[in-house]
Amino acid sequence: MGGVSEADVSEDVRAWLDQQWDPDRPLVEWRKLLAGSGWAVPSWPTRWHGRDLASWADRIVADEIRDAGAVGPPLGAGMNLAAPTLVTHGSDDLNDRMLLPTITGAVSWTQLFSEPGAGSDLAGLRTSAVRDGDEWIVNGQKVWNTSAHHADFAMLVARTDWGAPKHEGISYFVLPMKQPGVEARPILQMNGHSSFNEVFLTDARIPAANLVGDSGDGWRIARTTLMHERTFSTLRRPQIPPGVGRALEEAAAENAEHFATYAWYPQRAGRADLVIDRAVRHGRATDPLVRQVIAELVSFQRASEWTASRARAARSLDRPPGPEGSLGKLAASEVARRSARVHAAIAGADAMLSAVDGDADASVIAEVLVSTPAQSIAGGTDEIQHNIIGENVLGLPREPSVDRGVPFRDVVRGAG
């Protein structure tokens, strides 16, 4: 829609909210109304519950919904990863079935990408999908799958052509999770949480209509999901507007359930927000070595925020997520590592203890030290991000590969 300004969008959505927002509606019913108006995700096509507006409209509308004391679409992998991928690559039939219940929160999602032998080298995955009439039959194992134990659907990549090179024989599916042959087992992490699962697929079935894009085009589609994952690598907890009413109560309960899974994510990011106050309270603010590492951390963090701002600016200009997501991902990993080192410098050996007399934050700091390594792994390791930046930003030649162009079945055989 050419010529539409931010002020126009704000005025239009504000007028609509004044007429339609009712906190006593059931939450799903409210979100159906929101989707029907096109204001749930205004940058999406009108065919898929949007308004064909530029990407900046999403931020404007989200702010207006919050200021009106209303509730927007749900959080999580559905709206952040699955839905944007389907809007870009899904068939009309699949999008008709999946997008609206994702917007309303009627269904939840997980991501089945990584495998025990295919994490950083995701294209080396061995989970197989074989066509059987109007269905695909899936066998294999996935790992590090957040919320898989209660998800309704999964974004799944599986190998459908073992005779093609490894990047070309992969397909992308929407897998119904609640069926025989899908078993999710929680993984106990060293920080005591169990956010992730390993998922075993034994003759699990997927309707043929749940193939996203074309068979064999899964790697390209998966990269869309991964770019969105890196864009949303920072987890921010929105505040449910104050007030009473069924929609608000149900949204608050939904938020609490969602963030129970991610309770340790702020610690994974390093808790840089705590370092200055802790240095003062522990009498380390005048230590020149501690002051130096704090200054290095804060300056690096602010520089990384500029990179994130550039990424947001690119999205506001309707540019798709790109390599800048890898820059932000690398910066987040470095902030986490530096924060952990600063916390250790402030607390000394006490940083290893989850309870210290007179230190209310001791358990948080101990959790930081055992959680920050995950920041450099989730969403693609630092090494993978370096490759993406080198090839797509710096124009360096591709990393040498002995299996490029080789049928994947020969690669597997050659690996013993």
Catalytic residue positions?
Answer: 229
Query: Would you state the structure tokens that stand for residue 234, as one six-digit string?
Result: 């920072």
Burial of 176 (0-12, 13-18, 19+ CB in 10 A): middle
Instruction: Enter the tokens of residue 123.
Output: 């294209």
Between CA 251 and CA 256 the distance in angstroms is 9
SS3 of residue 348 by DSSP: helix
Q: Tokens at residue 126, please?
A: 């061995």
Residue 281: DSSP 8-state: H
> How do 109-112 and 153-159 pair as beta strands?
parallel
Burial of 58 (0-12, 13-18, 19+ CB in 10 A): buried
Question: Which residue type does 289 have?
Answer: L
Tokens at residue 205, please?
């079935």
Residue 63 structure tokens = 């702010």
Residues 6+ apart with CB under 8 A from 279: 285, 287, 290, 291, 294, 346
In three-state secondary structure terms, 116 is: coil
**Do residues 318 and 42 lie in contact, with contact meaning Cβ atoms separated by under 8 Å?**
no
